[in-house]
Structure 1
Amino acid sequence: MLPTHTTLARRTCLASLGAVAAGVLSTPYARAATETNSQAELQARGLSATGIEVTLPPLADNSNAIPLQFTLQAPAGKQLVGFDIIAPENPNRVILQLALGQGQTRFKFNTRIRLAMSQEVWVLAHLNDGSTLGRATHTVVTATACFDET
């Protein structure tokens, strides 16, 4: 004897389809709201800039190799355990994450970075007590020195 097939009610199918669609459609909005290392998220953190000195040219005519220099000074009684360089407008926001082998009270770093466009570059210093310091520095990036062949 052949097994009897159960018919699906139209109402049951539509309810299931609606639940799946609601779950799929709500996922991108949830991700956008909690986007890490975005300009808005970094500003909302209210990071203290005490002890961070950043040197970045205010105008860069070559976005491939922009010199960046910074000095980190840990507050009294604390040590630096790592730092991040973040460019929120780049496709890959985190330029560099570095964990120091042992805690430092002062750290100086020089490098060249690549930026996609004019933006604020963030330097975040991580301390041994779990707190974070941060400073943003703005730079304007031009694609070339001459736009109109003059």
Structure 2
Amino acid sequence: MNHLDRTNLMSLISVHPSLAAEKDFFVNKTALMELESNPDAGVKVKFVMELICSSMLLHEKVLVFCEYIPPLRFIMKQLEHKFSWMEGKEMLYMDGKRDVKDRQSSISSFNNPRREAKVLLASTRACAKGINLARASRICFA
């Protein structure tokens, strides 16, 4: 593995160990995949889930940034499982592949106090250029 691959792998593992199952050199992928249903197995996922739970009690909105897409998708699956949330309703998602209109729609929904959006999961590339997320009470980087 080169340095960039190792850095990417360490970033994935720090979010949740099951994200490393995608890499070819792991022998026991089954054991890693068994961890997938346990959000507490990943330091960052555990933190994000606790932050979101606390924020819900205070009726605050949370912005979760991440450089890589797989951790965002993983956190989204955990939120769907734990709270039965749906993308586009309680949780919003933005990455660099979404077109500008979709991104702006997500930003508007997140900033609208009458909307049900509680969490915005966003890649750093999608949010790299001066966006306004004034409703985010809590921000974390996964």
Return the TM-score normalized by structure 1. 0.27
Return the TM-score normalized by structure 2. 0.28
Larger-gyration structure (1/2): 1
More helix by share: 2
More strand by share: 1
